[in-house]
């Protein structure tokens, strides 16, 4: 069964060649090691410099990147990818199947830290059947495999680089992407220039892209509005209104499934009682949170981890803000005089503490006496994350339902943190990934969501929009709601 | 009232100080609203009949938050300074009066500790203790101690050679008498003056730590934290930043002016 | 002030510098998180974090890590930044020169402005000029840098006026004009409190000196007021000012942290905040060492200067 998909966008009519695009960002580009990096400003850089086998498109579906087509076996346990011909790395050496194999072996190697492992750990073997063909055999069936190969940290490195000193990957870039690294200064400006040898004809349009670091948001905003920066990578909710009303500025608001979730641990009181979890869910005014914390730049959610963008998402009943009902549920669960709790929020990003404070205030009238405890991010990761009873977590949107469920909710999820461990849920998720027949997948996933909504492992109060801004001379700029893919090869400047 | 306080500066300083101390002691009781309660329909508004100083991003009343935060901000400054000055003065007076090898050792240690700039010292301690007001206060007190010890010591040293001390020594008075009746009263005035100015410093450092996220933690109403949280809303409602910023400046200015007037009135030579 | 005394003072400082770095090291080891955790964030599985720790050398026992670092430093090798994968010496070295250009600009401007201001206020004590200088001083020394910096950014560099760039940095050897336009706001912020403090100190000390017997005698001798001030009053007033300058260098080194962060000036302050957040130990150690050394040297030099300027202390 062939699943060839047309290449993303031939050169756009009306596009102009040339110019340097200046992008400002407020977090450091600390490393260029594509296997393990996780910084928000690092993703655009590797999106420009490297290619994966596949890449997630603006429609959140996998599209060809280094592979021009792929096939799946009917039982979704074998996948064959056909690579483009004549692709070279930036240093001129050809990119072939052996580089792909070397990259995937590195990702699966337990001695090499790699962030993509959790979505690729079902790979049993990877081999090059010839110079341009790569074959994957999976341990268990997985229909969404081409989405996994599009993982932002699963980009293809050269076999040579992987055989040498791996610490070089932190500072040296040799990829097959539309832009080449010219200068990397993590304290100020990182500059990439056009790869004239890029495998998509006529692209990229830009001569160069520069990433400018501004660690202070006020300085970054002021500079964007009055200086010569063309794109502000991430806009804060508080500034969005002001920026979007400025002359010559296009502010972009991309609805996304990004969420802040309240984690309630199942295997300890008081959250082992469903009524307590439900009580908290009714103590939260979701629309108010969107208005206060997101400045209206988001959508209220009613505890479904999947946002409306997902194909197999079911309609979710609304949970109104009902402190009276919450009080009754608490009394039934044995807390007629209310419940005292400690809610942990790490200091990164700041939205965790803001939501925690708002929840604290709103849940007062329902009888919850919540103490918000903030702590440095690394202390949180070492001491609270995946262990704590009650804390705020923050996750970006994943490309598929399966990825979302397997990230956090299944019993063997890499970042499982609620102690839910529900076999029925696991089976449903497994069923969803093991077949490529749409109706069967829809069935499995809707049952899984119903189970999740009735058991309430997390409280998810809103979906946060992704916000960015560009000057009006910038054309073709858009962001993917997953916020890992930037398509800068399709951007041009209208002077 | 001592002459020194009758100047414009002295009166202003005293006035500001009284306002600030009153806020610190009575503030929380005078607040018209609960400082944590949201009034979402009135968020980010300027001054109005309902909210005299306006509201913040959650619709919380700014006047109530300022009054509520006065104790933490002011007593942080006072507490940190008290501990730092206390410990430092004792050490400095001992070094200055004892002289000899005791003085040398203490000076050696002080030099070493003074090798680390104050904010850096504070920053390191607070990063490693985790944020929080208690940790920040301890850090600031510890950072102040060596500087205060040095000042106390040099003040004692310069007094040792003054006429009235030499006269007492010539008279054959015992050392304890000399220290208590001649050295200390005259050494104390520079210490007290420096302390009041230090409180201003401590308030500012505390606010800076709150601003960096290493001092008071949300939802505390400490003034530095208020400025940090309000910075992103500065253009939409400048009052969110101006109110705590001005409050910090007023408190620091009050202590500075008061300290100077105090110095002018305590200076024995001026009062002759 | 013998050579032996100077030497012993220096040795004491060096000893304490190492005690400080050891303390920083030990405290970091107690912290629950580390650089590996910060690099991988919430996308790190236990295996990945362990692998990263092995690569960064964080799995060795802590006293071995400290000894490794110490031996390295004695050979001039400050190690590799854990977060930035660059040699610490390069990273800290660049940042040092950037901070130095800012700090020196601020200090020079302050000295040139503050001492005459203070002297003026003392000479014209009680006049309107004194009052204005006084008000400016009090307000200036009561505003924490982050308040001043934000105000300046918004009003001078904001979209309304746009007179100066809103943060950022251009090296002085790249463009003098560019450097100047970017340095004005941060240097002003840093200098405001220092100017207020120093001018007040000069004013107070000089007022005292001007009313002292020594000056009265000089006037009685028939010397011109100008000469009295320049040759007698001013030099004797400078000692406490120098003391304050040296204490204020400590304040400057602290203030630079916040100012660099707000104005995006790529110096030691900004680097320190980043290193602290990311538990990048070798960088934290190096910056602490550098800042403490600069401060100790400035204290030391100012002690000598005070001894030269103030005859009372010299003979104490």
- Confidence band, pLDDT 50/70/90 cuts, at residue C311: low
Question: From the centroid of its chain, how far is CA C184?
Answer: 17
* H-assigned helices in B172-234: 175-177, 184-212, 223-230
Cross-chain residue pair A292–B40, CB shorter than 8 Å? yes
Torsion of CA A147, A148, A154, A159, to 10 degrees: -100
Round to whole Å and give the CA distance between B191 and B96.
Answer: 13
For chain B, give the number of residues.
Answer: 272
- Cβ pair C55:A415 closer than 8 A: no
C167/A226 CB distance under 8 A: no
Mean pLDDT of C108-120: 84
Contact B120 C257 (CB under 8 A): yes
Nearest CA to B155 among C139, C313, C275? Answer: C313
Structure-token pair, residue A443: 């069935």
What token pair was written down for B175?
Answer: 């050392």
Give the residue with greater pLDDT, B102 vs C159.
B102
- Is the Cβ of A238 closer than 8 Å to some Cβ of chain B? yes
Which stretches of chain B sit within 8 Å of chain A by CB?
A: 36-38, 40, 43, 57-59, 127, 130-131, 213, 217-219, 231-236
CB count within 10 Å of CB C152 equals 21
Domains of chain B: total: 1
State both tokens at C208: 């005292």
Binary contact (B232, A241; C-beta < 8 A): no
**Cα distance between residue C264 and residue A214, in whole Å:** 6
Nearest CA in chain B to A371: B219
Give which of B230, B235, B245 to mutate to test A binding, by max A Cβ within 10 Å: B235
Are C48 and A166 within 8 A, CB to CB?
A: no
Residue B250 forms part of a structural domain = yes
Number of residues in chain A: 495
- Residue among C33, C83, C169 minimizing CB distance to A381: C33
In degrees rounded to 5, what are phi and psi of residue A9? 55, 105
Q: Do the domain assignments include residue B24?
A: no
Decide if A25 contacts A40 (C-beta within 8 A).
Answer: yes
- The radius of gyration of chain B's CA atoms, rounded to the nearest angstrom, is 22
**Can you tell me the distance from the alpha carbon of C149 to that of C184, in angstroms, rounded to the nearest whole number?**
11
For residue C29, give the chain B residue with the closest CA: B128
**Is residue B221 assigned to a domain?**
yes
User: In this structure, how many other beta carbons lie within 10 angstroms of the beta carbon of residue C133?
Assistant: 21
CB–CB of C253 and B231 under 8 A?
no
Q: Which of A378, A387, A415 has the most C C-beta neighbours within 10 Å, making it the best mutation to test the interface with C? A: A378
Residue C80 DSSP SS3: strand
CA separation for the pair C59, C48 (Å, rounded): 13
Q: Mean of the per-residue pLDDT values for chain C?
A: 79
Q: What is the pLDDT of residue A222?
A: 77
Q: What is the pLDDT of residue A15?
A: 80
Measure the CA–CA gap between B175 and B4, rounded to whole angstroms. 33
Chain segment A26-38, per-residue pLDDT in tens: 888 989 999 988 8
Q: How confident is the model at residue C248 (pLDDT cuts 50, 70, 90)?
A: confident
Cα separation of A220 and C165, whole Å? 11
pLDDT at B272: 36
Divide the 495 residues of chain A into consecutive groups of 10 and give the mean pLDDT of each group. Answer: 38 78 90 90 94 90 93 91 94 94 94 88 93 94 91 94 90 94 88 94 93 80 83 90 91 91 89 92 93 93 92 90 93 90 89 92 92 87 88 90 89 86 91 87 93 92 94 90 90 88
Q: What is the pLDDT of residue B243?
A: 87
A219 reaches B (C-beta below 8 A): no
pLDDT at position C7 is 80
**Closest residue of chain A to B37, computed from CA coordinates:** A361
B9 domain residue, yes or no: no
pTM of the shown model: 0.83
**DSSP label at residue B3:** G
Q: Are C194 and C206 in contact (CB under 8 A)?
A: no
Instruction: Round to whole Å and give the CA distance between B146 and A258.
Output: 50
Interface of C with A in 264-303 (CB under 8 A): 264, 266, 270-271, 274, 277-279
One-letter-per-residue 3-state SS of chain A: CECCCCCCCCCCCCCCCCCEEEEEECCCCCCCCCCCCCCCCHHHHHHHHCCCCEEECCCCCEEECCEEEEEECCCCCEEEEEECCCCECCCCCECCHHHHHHHHHHHHCCCCCCCCHHHHCCEEEEEEEECCEEEEEECCCCCCHHHHCCCCCCCCCCHHHHHCCHHHHHCCCCCCCCEEEEEECCCCEEEEEECCCCCCCCCCCCCEEEEEECCCHHHHHHHHHHCCCCEECCCCHHHHHHHHCCCCEEEEEEEEEEEEEEEECCCCCCCCCHHHHHHHHHCCCHHHHHHHHCCCCEEECCCCCCCCCCCCCCCCCCCCCCHHHHHHHHHHCCCCCCEEEEEEEECCCCHHHHHHHHHHHHHHHHCEEEEEEEECHHHHHHHHCCCCCEEEEEECCCCCHHHHHHHHCCCCCCCCCCCCCCHHHHHHHHHHHHCCCHHHHHHHHHHHHHHHHHHCCEEECEEEEEEEEEECCEECCCCCCCCCCCCHHHCEECC
Rounded to the nearest 10 degrees, the angle between the axes of helix A323-332 and helix A274-282 is: 170
Quick: pLDDT tens for A209-249.
999 988 677 778 877 887 789 999 999 888 898 899 999 99
Contact C44 A113 (CB under 8 A): yes
Q: Which chains touch C (3 or more CB pairs under 8 A)?
A: A, B
Give the whole-angstrom CA distance, residue B193 versus residue B198. Answer: 9
Contacts of C20 in chain B (CB under 8 A): 112, 115-116
Distance (Å) from the C-alpha of residue A347 to the closest C-alpha of chain B? 8
Nearest by CB: C159 against A33, A38, A226: A226
For residue B120, tell me if it sits in a domain: yes
pLDDT of amino acid B2: 64
- Which residues in chain B touch residue C208, judged by CB atoms under 8 angstroms apart? 269
Of the candidates A241, A358, A379, the beta carbon closest to that of B58 is on: A358
Question: Which residue in chain B is spatially nearest to A221 when comparing CA positions?
Answer: B232
Give partners of B (≥3 CB pairs < 8 A): A, C
What sign does the dihedral B196-B201-B202-B203 (CA atoms) show? positive
Would you say A463 and A252 are in contact if contact means Cβ atoms under 8 Å apart? no
Any chain B CB within 8 A of the CB of C229? no
8 A C-beta contact, residue A361 and residue B37: yes
Q: Quick: pLDDT tens for B144-162.
A: 888 888 888 877 777 777 7
Residues of chain B in contact with residue A374, where contact means CB-CB under 8 angstroms, are 131, 217-218
> A338 vs chain C: nearest CA distance in angstroms?
33
Considering only the beta carbons, identify the residue of B9, B116, B160 that sits closest to C134. B9
Q: Select from C34, C95, C153 the Cβ nearest to the Cβ of A219.
A: C153
- Please report, to the nearest 10 degrees, the dihedral formed by the alpha carbons of residues A8, A310, A286, A465 taken in order: -10
- Give CA–CA dist B144/B118, Å, rounded: 7
Q: Looking at residues C157-186, what average pLDDT do you find? A: 78
Chain-chain contact of C32 with A383 (C-beta, under 8 angstroms): yes
Chain B: give the shortest CA distance to residue C46, in Å. Answer: 24
Q: Which among A361, A372, A374 is the nearest to B38, CB-wise?
A: A361
Residue of A nearest to C53 (CA): A113
Q: What is the DSSP letter of C292?
A: H
Min distance A228 CA to chain C CA atoms (Å): 10
Query: Which of B127, B131, B235 is closest, CB to CB, to A242?
Result: B235
Taking the C-alpha atoms of residue A344 and residue A394, their distance in angstroms, rounded to an integer, is 12
pLDDT at residue C315 is higher than 60 = no
Q: How many residues does chain C have?
A: 316
Kindly indicate the confidence band of residue B132, based on its pLDDT and cuts at 50, 70 and 90. confident
* Percentage with pLDDT > 90 across chain C: 4
Distance from CA of A261 to the nearest CA of C (A): 14
Residue of chain A whose Cα is closest to the Cα of B214: A376
The reported pLDDT for the residue numbered A125 is: 94
Buried b (16+ CB within 10 A) or exposed e, A295-329: bebbbbbbbbbbbebbebbbebeebebbbebbbbb
Specify burial of residue B162 (Cβ count, 10 A radius: 0-12, 13-18, 19+).
middle
Nearest to A131 by CA among A97, A181, A170, A100: A97
- Which chain A residue's Cα is nearest to B43? A292
pLDDT of residue A355: 94
Check which CATH number belongs to the domain holding B157 and give it: 1.10.3720.10
Closest residue in B to C255 (Cα–Cα): B119
| Cβ–Cβ gap A226/C274 under 8 Å | no
Q: Are residues A214 and C167, on separate chains, in Cβ contact within 8 Å?
A: yes
Percent of chain A scored above 70 by pLDDT?
97
Answer whether A71's CB lies under 8 Å from A1's CB. yes
Is residue B2 assigned to a domain? no
Tokens of A489: 């090869």
3 state DSSP class of B217: coil
Nearest-CA distance C297 → chain A (Å) = 28
Name the H helices within B31-132. Answer: 62-98, 100-114, 118-129
Considering only CB atoms, C270 lies closest to which of A115, A215, A394, namely: A215
Peptide bond into A349 cis (omega under 30): yes
Residue C90 vs residues A165, C80, C84, C270: alpha-carbon distances, Å: 20, 9, 11, 15
Domain hosting residue B62, numbered range:
53-267
Number of Cβ atoms within 10 Å of the Cβ of B16: 22
Nearest to A382 among C37, C43, C86 (CB): C37
Q: How does residue B192 score in pLDDT terms, banded at 50, 70 and 90?
A: confident
B40 and A347 within 8 Å at the Cβ level: the answer is: no
Could you give the CA distance from residue A375 to residue A68 in angstroms, rounded to a whole number? 47
State whether residue C273 sits within 8 Å of chain B by CB. Answer: yes
Q: Supply the DSSP symbol for C165.
A: -
State the count of interchain CB pairs (< 8 A) between B and C: 147
Name the band, by pLDDT with cuts 50, 70 and 90, for residue C20. Answer: confident
Residue B250 pLDDT exceeds 80: yes
């Amino acid at each position: 069964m062939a699943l060839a998909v047309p290449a993303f966008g031939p050169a756009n009519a009306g596009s102009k060649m040339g110019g340097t695009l200046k992008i400002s960002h407020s977090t450091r580009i600390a490393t260029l090691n594509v296997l393990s990096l996780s910084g928000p400003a690092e993703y655009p850089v590797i999106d420009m410099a490297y290619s994966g086998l596949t890449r997630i498109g603006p429609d959140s579906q996998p599209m060809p990147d280094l592979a021009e087509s792929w096939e799946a076996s009917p039982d979704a346990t074998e996948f064959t990818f056909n690579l483009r011909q004549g692709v070279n790395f930036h240093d001129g050496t050809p990119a072939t199947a052996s580089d792909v194999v070397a990259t995937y072996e590195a990702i699966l190697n337990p001695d090499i830290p790699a962030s993509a492992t959790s979505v690729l750990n079902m790979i049993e073997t990877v081999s090059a059947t010839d110079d341009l063909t790569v074959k994957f055999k999976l341990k268990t069936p997985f229909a969404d495999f081409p989405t996994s190969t599009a993982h932002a940290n699963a980009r293809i490195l050269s076999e040579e680089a992987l055989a040498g000193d791996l610490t070089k990957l932190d500072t040296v870039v040799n990829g097959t992407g539309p832009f080449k690294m010219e200068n990397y200064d993590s304290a100020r400006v990182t500059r990439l220039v056009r790869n004239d040898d890029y495998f998509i004809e006529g692209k990229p349009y830009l001569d160069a892209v520069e990433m400018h670091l501004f660690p202070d948001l006020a300085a970054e905003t002021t500079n964007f509005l009055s200086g010569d920066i063309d794109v502000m990578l991430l806009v804060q909710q508080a500034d969005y209104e002001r920026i979007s009303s400025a002359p010559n500025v296009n502010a972009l608001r991309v609805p996304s499934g990004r969420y802040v979730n309240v984690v309630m641990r199942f295997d300890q009181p008081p959250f082992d009682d469903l009524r307590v979890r439900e009580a908290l869910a009714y103590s939260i005014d979701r629309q108010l949170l969107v208005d206060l914390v997101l400045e209206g730049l988001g959508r209220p959610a009613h505890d479904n981890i999947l946002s409306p963008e997902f194909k197999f998402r079911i309609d979710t009943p609304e949970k109104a803000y009902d402190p009276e009902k919450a009080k009754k549920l608490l009394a039934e669960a044995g807390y007629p005089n209310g419940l005292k709790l400690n809610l942990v929020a790490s200091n990164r990003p700041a939205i965790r503490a803001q939501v925690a404070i708002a929840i604290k205030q709103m849940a007062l009238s329902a009888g919850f006496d919540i103490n918000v405890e903030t702590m440095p991010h690394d202390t949180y990761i070492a001491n609270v994350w995946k262990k704590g009873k009650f804390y705020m977590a923050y996750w970006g949107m994943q490309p598929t339902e399966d990825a979302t469920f397997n990230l956090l909710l299944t019993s063997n999820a890499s970042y499982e943190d609620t102690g839910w461990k529900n076999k029925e849920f696991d089976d449903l998720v497994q069923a969803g990934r093991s077949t490529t027949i749409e109706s069967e997948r829809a069935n499995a996933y809707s049952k899984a969501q119903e189970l999740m909504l009735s058991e309430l492992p997390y409280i998810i109060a809103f979906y946060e929009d992704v916000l960015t801004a560009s000057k009006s001379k910038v054309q073709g700029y858009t962001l993917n709601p997953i916020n890992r893919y930037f398509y800068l090869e399709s951007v041009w400047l209208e002077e | 009232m001592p002459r020194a306080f009758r100047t414009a500066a002295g009166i202003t300083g005293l006035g500001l100080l009284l306002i600030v101390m009153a806020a610190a002691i009575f503030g929380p009781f005078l607040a018209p609203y609960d400082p944590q309660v949201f009034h979402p329909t009135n968020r980010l508004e300027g001054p109005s009949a309902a909210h005299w100083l306006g509201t913040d991003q959650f619709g919380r009343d700014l006047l109530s938050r300022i009054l509520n935060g006065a104790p933490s901000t002011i007593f942080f400054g006072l507490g940190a300074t008290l501990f730092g000055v206390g410990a430092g003065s004792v050490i400095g007076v001992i070094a200055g009066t004892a002289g000899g090898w005791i003085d040398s050792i203490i000076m050696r240690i002080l030099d070493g500790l003074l090798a680390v700039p104050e904010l850096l010292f504070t920053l390191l301690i607070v990063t490693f203790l985790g944020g929080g007001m208690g940790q920040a206060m301890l850090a600031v007190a510890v950072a102040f101690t060596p500087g205060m010890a040095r000042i106390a010591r040099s003040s004692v040293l310069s007094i040792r050679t003054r006429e009235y001390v030499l006269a007492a020594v010539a008279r054959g008075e015992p050392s304890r008498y000399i220290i208590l009746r001649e050295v200390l009263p005259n050494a104390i005035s520079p210490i007290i003056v420096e302390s009041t100015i230090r409180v201003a410093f401590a308030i500012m450092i505390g606010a800076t730590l709150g601003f960096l996220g290493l001092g008071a933690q949300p939802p505390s109403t400490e003034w530095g934290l208020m400025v940090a949280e309000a910075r992103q809303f500065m253009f939409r409602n400048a009052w969110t930043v101006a109110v705590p910023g001005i409050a910090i400046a007023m408190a620091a200015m009050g202590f500075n002016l008061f300290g100077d007037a105090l110095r002018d009135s305590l200076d024995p030579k001026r009062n002759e | 002030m013998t050579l032996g005394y100077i030497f012993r003072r220096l040795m004491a400082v060096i000893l304490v510098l190492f005690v400080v770095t050891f303390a920083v090291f030990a405290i970091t080891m107690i912290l629950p998180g580390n650089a590996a955790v910060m690099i991988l964030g919430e996308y790190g599985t236990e295996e990945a974090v362990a692998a990263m720790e092995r690569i960064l050398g964080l799995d060795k026992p802590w006293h071995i890590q400290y000894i490794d670092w110490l031996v390295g430093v004695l050979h001039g090798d400050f190690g590799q930044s854990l977060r930035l994968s660059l040699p610490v010496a390069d990273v800290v070295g660049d940042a040092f020169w950037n901070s130095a250009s800012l700090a020196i600009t601020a200090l020079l401007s302050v000295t040139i402005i503050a001492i005459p201001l203070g002297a003026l206020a003392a000479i014209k004590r009680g006049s309107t000029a004194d009052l204005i200088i006084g008000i400016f001083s009090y307000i200036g020394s009561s505003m924490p840098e982050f308040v001043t910096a934000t105000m300046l950014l918004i009003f001078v560099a904001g979209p309304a006026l746009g007179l100066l760039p809103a943060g950022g940095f251009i090296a002085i050897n790249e463009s003098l004009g560019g450097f100047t336009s970017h340095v004005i706001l941060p240097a002003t912020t840093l200098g405001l409190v220092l100017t207020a403090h120093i001018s007040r100190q000069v004013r107070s000390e000089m007022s005292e000196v001007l009313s002292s017997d020594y000056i009265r005698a000089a006037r009685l001798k028939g010397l011109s007021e100008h000469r009295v001030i320049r040759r007698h009053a001013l030099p004797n007033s400078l000692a406490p000012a120098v003391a304050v300058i040296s204490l204020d260098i400590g304040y400057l080194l602290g203030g630079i942290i916040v100012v660099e962060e707000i104005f995006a000036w790529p110096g030691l302050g900004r680097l320190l905040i980043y290193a602290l957040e990311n538990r990048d130990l070798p960088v934290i150690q190096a910056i602490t060492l550098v800042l403490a050394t600069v401060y100790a040297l400035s204290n030391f030099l100012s002690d000598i200067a005070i001894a030269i300027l103030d005859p009372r202390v010299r003979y104490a």
